[in-house]
Structure 1
Amino acid sequence: MLACDPLREYLELEKPPPEPPVLTVTLDSTAPRFCRAGESVLLSATVEGGTPDEVSLFLDGSHVVTLSEPYRFTLDCTTSPEGTFSFVMKARLETRSFESPPMSVTVDRTAPAVLGLNPQTRFPSGNEPLEFLFSEPMDPRSLQSTSAWVRDENGTPVPCQLTLVENGLRLRLIPDLPLKPPVTLTAELAPPMLTDLAGNPLRADEQFPQSVTWWPFTRTGPAPSEATIQEADFASDPGRTGRVLAWTETEALRERPLLVVARWTKEGWEPLPMPRSEEERIRAAISPRVAMDRAGRIVLAWVEGTLPSFIYVKRFDGTGWQSLGTPSPSKGGEVSGLSMTLETDGDPILAWSDEEVIHVARWELTGWNTFGGPLEANPERDTPATSPAIATEADQVMVAWSEIPVGEAQPQVIVWEYQNQGWAPVGTPLVGDRASRSSAKEIALLLKDSKPLVAWSEVSQDLRSHEVYFSRRDGLTGWTPPEALQALTGSSPPGTPRLALDRNGAPWIAWERQGGPYNFEHIVYRKRGESGWGPEQLVARGFLVNFQLDGQDTPWAAVRRGWTPEGVVLTRPQ
């Protein structure tokens, strides 16, 4: 028995020491995750598995305070900085440290703000939802069916379903019935129902009504420029597949308008190289005119200067702009009413008014042919020829303009044709309303099967009545009686009417008219069928840049707004 004692002592010496205690630190998970002014958060920790030497609270990795039992800390949300903070309790036992899982607390004393009402783009699609945008997520528990209301332009309530989307950053208002443009919806939040996740309600000054209008035409893509648009022109190629837009724009720090051109692609507007170099931008560019031939080549014309002013023309060959010089005389002039069309081979023909007469010039291989001008129907004084429109078909060229005919008192529509190396009148001048002594103002001209079609606007002598007329040349009877499209009223006459022909040769005419409670400009159009003109169709509010039909006879309208953003937008039916 004695021999066994050394062995027992050896075994006792080799016995491993007991495992040191392991502490488990837990932060109270029932503490609120959000806290606002006047509130506080109690951070309470429990330590299990032993008695720690020290327990400390850490905020985002930095030591805050060392605590004694019962390990509690009160966060005052009135004086604490705002933000989301990560808290951790750490317990130290001798040389070892144990920490709790992190717990986040958001201190939020700031009332949420309304950032806007979508859609914020002009000419939205009917698929774009009506929704409020907030500066921070809203609490779904605060949303009620009466948290917002919607009314139409007549003040009639529009029943809607309300739902928070994008994690509460947007409140979507979904009308029970589909929208039928044109319609204006005004949405308003009801105070003080909606709150953010911390319980802060929307500020009272954020809860004002906001409106969105859906028009029959919607934008086809983003606006080509965010600058202020001064003037613009839009054109399609003869195949009605290519589209090009030219415009002048200004920015706050730019004194002279910048001339810009872009063509339409499947991805939207593709800017082309600048048509003018820095050295060529000494004078401001005005009155841009653009056209595209069957090969996709783009011709651009514009005016520089006032007195004297000059016309310049360039052609885009796919990589850069090639100068075609200027058809203006060396001394310049006072150019107005610049109009351009392309012949079958893509060469441009220009018409413009200068010194009260009409000039026509055609590009021929290496230079400009003045084409037998200048033109005037009345050689007497104070009978200025203005607002020319030029059209060509095959080898035929016609020009129309406004001028007081011999023996008359008010301007009428004059149409001449170039034939046998000279110009000759096409029938008698056109006037829609002779009784009220109306004056012809702006003119659109097209040729179809060698016969001209004309649309024009007239303004009564007292400026209170405005009208749009149409006439076409019949080979047997001459001009058809002018057809009135729409009697207009307002403080200003309509802009230039736009004339287009569909695949069957039926004319479509678009123009601006004033109307509505604030007498705003609206763009409308009508199509002529076998039995006459169809009903007036609304495009949208704005100024008409141009109106074209594509290969499926779908109308496209380039619309200019009077303010940024989206100074010019290309639109088509919803």
Structure 2
Amino acid sequence: MDLFLLCAGLMRNSKSLLLVLWMMGSACIQVPDLEPGALPDAGSQDSRPVTVSWLSPEAGNSTNGTLRVSVEVTGPTPDRVELLVDGTPVGLLSASHSLNWETWSLPEGPHVLAVRATRNSQVFTSPERTVTVDRTLPRMTSQTPANAAFLVPAGMAIHATFSEPLRASSVSTQSIQLTVDSAPFSADVSLSGDGRALTISPHTPLPVDSQVAVTIDAAVTDLAGNSMDATSRDWRWTIPSYLLVGEPLRAGSPDASLIDRASLRIGGDSRPLVAWAQHGGVHVRRWNGDAWEYLGGPLKSGATNTLAVWNSALQIDAEGRPLVAWFEYFESGISQFHARRWNGTAWESLGTFLNSSLAGGHISWMGFSSGTQQAPVVAWEEGNDSQHQFVLRQWDGSAWVAKAGPLPLVGTVTYPGFDLDAAGQPVFTFRERDSQGVNVGRVVRWNGSAWQDISAGLGGLPSARVFHPDGSLLVGVSVRVDGSWRPVIKRWNGSAWLIVGGPVDSAPSTHERTLHGIVVDAQGLLTALFIEVRTQPATSSMVGQARQWTGDRWEDVSGTLRPAPGMWKKELPSLALSPDREPIIAWIEGTDPTLGTSESALHVHRVNH
């Protein structure tokens, strides 16, 4: 039988079809392989779905430029795969189903992405995924300490916040560095969970009297890869040796606030008090723990023809009550001395005013002391055309009486000062210019009936003095040591001057240094303040440093007390000691005198720790 006819006949009987196929093997017609799920009819479409799954970017991603888009496609091969941005096609994906999408033409902000696959007339779309186009540089929105801050407390936490989250992987001790005086300083760097807050934790306390900086590298970026704004990469501040106690003190408008002298004492309540003359009155303020409060109103005599109120001085009497004294200057050239005592609610007058004891005398300096248990004593320097002298008056409870005879003076006097010993006997220290124009150091003591000059062997120029609890007199002098003027303290033992531990400063300087304040604590240990006059830089007229005598050596209390940037330390400081043996310093600070302005304020400083 013809093979074709046999096959055809059998195929007309569908029940015999499997038998024929088994017998004929490959001799019958070939049946094409079909894809799984395909229909056997010629020309039918594959109805299986195409699945599009995201590989990149991740949900919530940010970009500032080219974004890598990649998907995984499963199921029948689509005819076309394209990227939709906010519902609009922007590009076809490659055969590997990826695309480098340039975002430069899109506005900043969130955009919705989807990938659409098309096969014949069927459309398959991925889930939507939002990405943010961000070309804005991140910046600091707050800093602690503030950038360029000058009065930063030691130990202040270092924090910064940012306008947007930073990429955590970009923040490290290599990309963010802490330096002190330009040298690296070991610290930990951490970023908050939301990426917006930075904390820097030094491994050891930052030193005072130093310049601190945080440098942020360009490698620090936001989530979109934008580097930190250049204005936020440089963050620096100063940790001074001393901080202000409260606000700067002045009376009246700042543009006419000339202050020529200030006085500082610790009251019976262990809190600082300050006094200064300004705008025709004497101002006394007391620190209440939170702010400076006035003790009464401005003090003055009330005379209508007063030209100026000046040279105020503050003291504390044996009962812990504040005393204040000042001079008023008149057109006639006469100066009047006035004194008041605070009774707890108001200022009460201590007698009537005093004038120069010399006919036509002019008063150029005044000092005020109450000693340890003594009634108040005032001293002043007066002179006319023929005489020049120191005068002392003591309050006896009802009037000011002569304390000692006048101390005659010969030449021009600088750095005058006095104190009282345990018996109430005064001693003067000063520098006097002799007939040859040479400054000579003078220490003169009242022995009860006459003035005794004990200057011989002092070997320097005095500028401060104090009586030790053991009764010995201590005098701060400037002496020449290997060509430099250095501050030392010398003790009078009754017959000779003995140096206390060598120079107060730790090393010589090219600038002249002068002691201007010595205080003694209850244990008899000394705290001394020396000042240094600097001609460079021009904005630092004076600086100061306090050191303490431990019994066998001088040690730093803190670093150098400097003026604020662009300001000058003016006149001479006033030193007191807090109950915990820390120095409190009052100093007038003002604008650069070369600018021709008179703005100044009284600054009270405490140690920064």
1:488·1:514 contact (CA, 8 Å) conserved in 2? no
Say whether residues 1:127 and 2:144 are aligned partners: no
Instruction: Tell me: CA distance 1:396–1:279, structure 2 relative to 1, closer, same or farther (3 Å).
Output: closer
2:280·2:300 contact (CA, 8 Å) conserved in 1? no
Deviates more, 1:309-318 or 1:111-120: 111-120
CA distance in 1, matches of 2:141, 2:555: 41
State the secondary structure of the residue aligned to 1:414: strand
Instruction: Tell me: CA distance 1:310–1:34, structure 2 relative to 1, closer, same or farther (3 Å).
Output: farther
Counterparts in 2 of 1:312-323, with a 5 A limit?
312-323=338-349
Instruction: Tell me: CA distance 1:211–1:453, structure 2 relative to 1, closer, same or farther (3 Å).
Output: same
Say whether residues 1:452 and 2:473 are aligned partners: yes
Counterparts in 2 of 1:53-72, with a 5 A limit?
none
Alignment partner, residue 74 of structure 2: none
Instruction: Tell me: CA distance 1:293–1:143, structure 2 relative to 1, closer, same or farther (3 Å).
Output: farther
Alignment partner, residue 16 of structure 1: none
CA shift at 1:494, angstroms? 3.6
2:515·2:528 contact (CA, 8 Å) conserved in 1? no
Instruction: Tell me: CA distance 1:109–1:539, structure 2 relative to 1, closer, same or farther (3 Å).
Output: closer
Counterparts in 2 of 1:172-211, with a 5 A limit?
172-191=199-218, 193=220, 203-211=229-237
CA distance in 2, matches of 1:166, 1:266: 39
Unaligned runs of 5+ in 1: 1-29, 37-69, 73-77, 83-104, 250-255, 434-439
CA shift at 1:372, angstroms? 4.0
2:308·2:330 contact (CA, 8 Å) conserved in 1? no
Q: TM-score, normalised by structure 1?
A: 0.64
CA distance in 2, matches of 1:370, 1:133: 67
Aligned CA-pair RMSD: 5.1
State the secondary structure of the residue aligned to 2:287: strand
Alignment partner, residue 272 of structure 2: 243
Aligned residues between the structures: 463
Say whether residues 1:233 and 2:263 are aligned partners: yes
2:490·2:497 contact (CA, 8 Å) conserved in 1? yes
CA distance in 2, matches of 1:152, 1:129: 15
CA distance in 1, matches of 2:395, 2:196: 59
CA distance in 2, matches of 1:497, 1:361: 24
Alignment partner, residue 42 of structure 2: none
CA distance in 2, matches of 1:198, 1:260: 59
Alignment partner, residue 360 of structure 1: 392
Q: Over residues 214-241 of structure 1, what are the superposed CA-to-partner deviations in whole Å (9 max), with x where a residue is unaligned?
A: 43xx54853353867844321124x683
The letter for the 2-side match of 1:362 is Q
Unaligned runs of 5+ in 2: 1-57, 65-85, 89-104, 109-131, 563-568, 592-598
1:263·1:269 contact (CA, 8 Å) conserved in 2? yes
State the secondary structure of the residue aligned to 1:274: coil
Q: TM-score, normalised by structure 2?
A: 0.60
2:430·2:462 contact (CA, 8 Å) conserved in 1? yes
Counterparts in 2 of 1:43-442, with a 5 A limit?
112=139, 118=145, 124-132=152-160, 144-145=171-172, 148-153=176-181, 155-163=182-190, 171-191=198-218, 193=220, 203-215=229-241, 218-219=242-243, 221-223=245-247, 225=249, 230=259, 231-237=261-267, 241-247=270-276, 256=279, 259-276=282-299, 283-305=307-329, 308=333, 309-324=335-350, 325-329=352-356, 334-343=362-371, 347-355=375-383, 356-378=388-410, 383-404=411-432, 410-420=438-448, 422-429=449-456, 431-433=458-460, 440=461, 442=463
CA distance in 1, matches of 2:480, 2:429: 15
CA distance in 1, matches of 2:318, 2:61: 66
CA shift at 1:562, angstroms? 4.6
Q: Give 1 or 2 for the bigger CA radius of gyration.
A: 2
Alignment partner, residue 508 of structure 1: 527
CA distance in 2, matches of 1:551, 1:341: 20
CA distance in 1, matches of 2:198, 2:339: 52
Q: Over residues 437-456 of structure 1, what are the superposed CA-to-partner deviations in whole Å (9 max), with x where a residue is unaligned?
A: xxx26233335444322113
The letter for the 2-side match of 1:456 is V
CA distance in 1, matches of 2:140, 2:302: 48
State the secondary structure of the residue aligned to 1:184: strand
CA shift at 1:468, angstroms? 1.6
CA shift at 1:114, angstroms? 5.8
Q: Over residues 69-101 of structure 1, what are the superposed CA-to-partner deviations in whole Å (9 max), with x where a residue is unaligned?
A: x999xxxxx9x9x9xxxxxxxxxxxxxxxxxxx
CA shift at 1:400, angstroms? 1.6
CA shift at 1:245, angstroms? 1.9
CA shift at 1:499, angstroms? 0.9
CA distance in 1, matches of 2:463, 2:365: 9
Equivalent residue in structure 2 for 1:525, among 535, 546, 549: 546
1:242·1:296 contact (CA, 8 Å) conserved in 2? no
